[in-house]
Chains A and B, each alone.
Chain A
Amino acid sequence: MATAVMPEQRTNYLNAEHGVKSWLLTTDHKRIALLYMVSVTFFFFIGGIYALLIRLELLTPAGDLVQADTYNRLFSGHGIVMVFFFLIPVVPAILGNFLVPIMIGAKDLAFPRINLLSWYLYIIAGGLMVHVILTGGVDTGWTFYTPYSTAFASPKVVEAGLAAFINGFSSIFTGLNFIVTIHRMRAPGMTWSRLPLFIWANYATSLIMVLGTPVIAITLVLLVLERVFHLGIFDPKLGGDPLLFQHLFWFYSHPAVYIMILPSMGIISELIACFSRKRIFGFQFVALSSVAIAVLGFLVWAHHMFVAGMSVYAALIFSFLTFFIGVPSAIKVFNWTATMYKGSVTYETPMLYAFGFIGLFTIGGLTGLFLATLGIDIHVTDTYFVVAHFHYVMVGGVVMAYLGGLHFWWPKITGRMYPEGMGKLAALIGFIGFNLTFFPQFILGYVGMPRRYYQYPPEFQMLNVLSTAGATILGVGYLFPLVYLIWSLKYGEIAGDNPWNAAGLEWKTTSPPPTFNFHEDPVVDFEAYNYDELKDIPDER
């Protein structure tokens, strides 16, 4: 199989057309995925520069590197850029866009032009956000809490809100496209029970995108109405209720956490199956747990508001429901682990990232239980404990999975292999750097350091220094893959069509795939992860 024609000599989606116009006006889901890859990576590094400046300021207790107002713009910019312009689109819009049609045996997404529109909306929103950054920034935090955001705050709130609003439509269109595609465009024989878990995860994610995102759009419109026209919605001075904003905001923004993590879980299922050479243990349970998370995710939003002044009984109910969402997440972790039982495990870079994901997500998930526990949450909410928790889940989890997936599908996307040794090293550096950055923050939070402080009492310094030191290592762990992956575009080993001898339709076409994905229309007569039928393991590469 790997002895096939050199990809360069064969027409594929990369060399089918040339010129800037062929990229900017493309409707090929794979090219759009690459457009997203470039733009999302750009925003990741903007957000990363913010993070670096935040960590540098926190190296000393005094507020000495930047002014208080500047610091407030740094963490707000970091949050808005990372959440809306990196974490939410990173897996669905890049890997999802590239893989969803191929994995189900379709030629493209159901609405290729809407897919391109999604990217343009992302770019317009991103451009607006860059404008906000360059003209002074915004200091509301990514949470835009009222009445601070409507009656006070820096002047760019409306523009930042508009950027998030427009970006929301990019999400909604992507979600809509995936739902219709997965329902209507599966290849003959690709039944729901044969759908890969990455598809199940993206399907569940799309449901949240389509059902949840409009709520944040409405909320941001209300916020702008109050800020610009002084309509009393959230500000008590105008007759509004500030808690209403928090309810609406978290009604989207809690499920949004699952928009970020669910597709990542889908990646991990693919990686563990491939590098254990086995069907995922408890396939149905892993598939349906994605749907369970999507549904339960809508019922727990007010756990962000236990100290906000909600009624006692509401808090009790939301605490209780929050524990239930731990069950489907735990099911996934247990099944991934059990998949290795009697498998044939190898330790290529993607698998190392999958191990890293299990490690970070488990810690992130377990500390979520602390926050669901009312008595403990009262003490640690709005402290660094929360900061550590959500970075473990959203950053540790999502970035580990994204990088794992990127390495795994890199040969399919580009036709070339990444350098394996460097890949392993980067995975290790990233894992160590991440833990060194964020684990001390759990302790810092329990000791009582509030978040969003640019100066702090001296007894918090030691843990902050550790965290900043870790952040520099983490920065290397994230920059390193950027360097060698770009290098591999020209110098990487030519990949075969299926370098991992992996199951799944995406490995049955050429690398890189042709514009319409398959040379012949695929027919599916096998189950997902049929590794027992792929026994001849090639020894080359």
Chain B
Amino acid sequence: MGNTPFWPESASNWAPGVDGLYIFLVLVSLVMCVLIFGAVAFLSAKYRRKPGVEPVPIEGSHLLEITWSVLPMFFFFAFFLGGALIYFHERTPPQGATEVYVVAKQWMWKLEHPEGQREINTLHVPLGQDVKLIMTSMDVIHSFYIPAFRIKQDVLPGRYSILWFRATQPGTYHLFCAEYCGTQHSGMIGSIIVQSPAEYQTWLNGGSSNTPLAQTGEKAFAELGCVTCHRADAQGRGPVLTGIYGKAVSLEDGRSVMVDENYLRESILDPGAKVVSGYKPVMPTFQGIISEEQLAALVAYVKSLTPAAGAPGSAVAQSDTTPKSGK
């Protein structure tokens, strides 16, 4: 991993924008430092105490105060805008991204590809393709950080956090846990391996025959009995799940909610929280019954029932759809 000591490698769609903005801020800061330190040095030297020279009492200047209060605001606004644009884009996962489910625990990263490939502390991703990570934690807060991609997202227990990127340089890059998580926090590291799409495909096909995640979810859907109520034909006691992902549904209390990964998760673990209008709160909870991996498979399966399902294509995927917020 050939990081230079003074500048990180840049290997994602985010890196050029973040670096550009950073360099802009560095330059503005340098100019400010030169101006301020120069003024301090100049004034303190020019007006050092000299015999017979009295200090001149000066009250101040409203014009100057207004100037140096207002002028920086233009720069601040430019910084804000530049940073906000990158951030908004970062929090808006594109349609059709490859979706990898990430489960963090003390002190390892478990990753599962839609094709069923599982990895620990290593993530293979295809070059030039959008990759969306759907992440949760089994214990404390962790943070998924790839310095070469200039991207980071805390991974919380009890909900999904989303992060997306497009790798632009083949290679192997650091994966760090950036949120302090206990004894082996600094050992909760790994690698991101960016491969050309062909190599990536070869890697996916290698190893034991894997069951695609959505297929695992379909099996669980049948075994857990979900299928008895969530029927395909609108005759069941639960809502039809076909085509539901990425759409808004109305709730009993008149509100509507976007069906994203977090809503699906919540509806499986805490079914009474946000019941779709026209249905009774009869579904039992699966909290403590299914594992994070099974949950991911179920979510992937439900999403696969919506053709061409990608992300909802809005920032809402990242918003505060915490499990308790709907009560």
Contact = CB atoms under 8 A, between A and B. Distances in A.
Interface of A: 63, 68-69, 72, 139, 141, 145, 147-148, 151-153, 235-237, 239, 241-243, 276-279, 281-285, 306-316, 319-320, 323-324, 326-327, 330-331, 333-335, 337-338, 340-347, 355, 358-359, 362-363, 366-367, 369-370, 372-379, 381-383, 443, 446-448, 450-457, 459-460, 462-463, 531-532, 535
A151 B64 CA distance: 54
A285 B157 contact: no
B12 to A, nearest CB: 11
B79 A323 contact: yes
B118 interface: no
Given A282-B65, A378-B150, A455 B187 contact: yes
B295 interface: no
Contacts of B79: 323, 369, 372-373
B279 interface: no
B284 interface: no
B244 interface: no
A448 B55 contact: no
B141 interface: yes
A447 B47 contact: no
Nearest to B75: A369
Interface stretch (B81-89, B197-205, B250-258): B81-89
Contacts of A315: 87
A379 B150 contact: yes
Given A306-B87, A450-B178, 6 more contacts: A145-B140, A151-B139, A153-B182, A309-B161, A323-B77, A446-B8
B48 A531 contact: no
Given A243-B322, A375-B87, A447-B3, A327 B179 contact: no
B58 A342 contact: yes
Interface stretch (B30-38, B123-131, B224-232): B30-38
Interface residues of B, number: 93
Interface stretch (B17-25, B109-117, B299-307): B17-25
B76 A362 contact: no
Nearest to A463: B5
B94 to A, nearest CB: 15
Q: Tell me whether chain B's interface is mostly helix, strand or loop, or mixed.
A: mixed
Contact of B22 (A363, A376, A383, A454): A376
26 contacts: A68-B185, A68-B186, A72-B180, A242-B156, A243-B322, A282-B65, A307-B152, A309-B161, A311-B319, A312-B87, A323-B80, A344-B53, A347-B44, A362-B36, A373-B21, A374-B80, A374-B83, A376-B25, A381-B152, A443-B6, A446-B22, A447-B5, A447-B7, A450-B177, A450-B178, A460-B5
A375 B82 contact: yes
A145 B25 contact: no
Contacts of A330: 68-69, 72
A382 B178 contact: yes
A331 B87 contact: no
B76 to A, nearest CB: 4
B30 to A, nearest CB: 9
A152 B140 contact: yes
- Which interface residue of B25, B148, B158 has the most chain A CB atoms within 10 A? B158
A359 B60 CA distance: 22
A138 to B, nearest CB: 12
Contacts of A363: 33
Interface string B180-197: 111111110000000000
A358 B40 contact: yes
Contacts of B64: 282, 334, 338
A312 B319 contact: yes
